Each structure stands twice: as structure tokens, then as C-alpha cells.
Amino acid sequence: MENFTPWTSLLGGALLGLSVALLMLFSGKIAGISGVIGGLLTPQKHESSWRVAFLTGMILSFLIVLPLGFTLPDISNNNILLVSLAGLLVGFGTRLGNGCTSGHGIIGLGRLSKRSIYATCIFMARAIVTVYIRSLFGAV
């Protein structure tokens, strides 16, 4: 429990919820990251500008919290091929599941989407099983 951060996690979750609610309230857009990026890869008329602004804000947001002591994780010791493969698998899973965990878990649940409720239950069950199996064999 060395990385247990309930207050910063609560604040982060509240900010995520607020941001997706404001985006939906003021523009009617859904803030699932796979949908935002997917919309940039297959652009439609009048849809690219808000997506670029959303991604730019997301990428640069760490500059706002940097003075507060927040830092990005150090990934310099990771195998770049393994990280790339993991990213490709996440992208494949996102496409297969018609959305990512954030899209289903934050936006879909808030909209009471049946598909998102099922998807989030499956994500969570898989996570619980993975953590349990990992605990049996120790950290790798």
C-alpha cells in the first residue's frame, strides 16, 4: 500500500467526471478517448477541432499540476517493444469492445448504457482475476 493516494485519486476522479459532464452538457459530445482519437483518424465535417482541443488539453494538463508536486511515472527502464505491443493490444481490445474502459466506465455508466454496464462488469471481473492470479505467483 505504498502508493495509496485516496485524496489525489478522489480529486482526479472528480475532475474526470466534471470534465466529461461539461463536455456533454455544453456540446453533446462524449469524451471517451478511443472515440476522440478514432474521430481524428476518420474525420467528419466540423468534428476535428474539438477533438484536437480535447487531446491538446489532456496532453498539456500535466503542466498545470506540475507545480503542485504531481509527476509523470518514470518509464525509461521499460522495454519499448513490450510497451508498443501492449499499446497495440489495448487498441485492439478497445476496437473489439466498442470503447475503452474510460469511455464505458465513466461516460457509459453515467448515461446508464446497458452495453457499458456489461463491459465495465467484464473489465472489473477480469481485473480482479488478474490481480488474484498475480498475487498467487508474486510480482514479476
Pair 54, 81 in one domain: no
Report angle CA 126, 138, 8 to the nearest 5 degrees.
65
Domain residue limits at 107: 76-140
What is the number of structural domains in the chain?
2
Pair 58, 122 in one domain: no
pLDDT for 74-113, tens place per residue?
Answer: 777 888 898 889 888 888 888 787 888 878 888 888 889 8
Pair 64, 23 in one domain: yes
- Per the document, the length of the chain is 140
pLDDT for 45-78, tens place per residue?
Answer: 888 888 898 889 888 888 888 887 877 777 778 8
The pTM (predicted TM-score) of the whole model is: 0.68
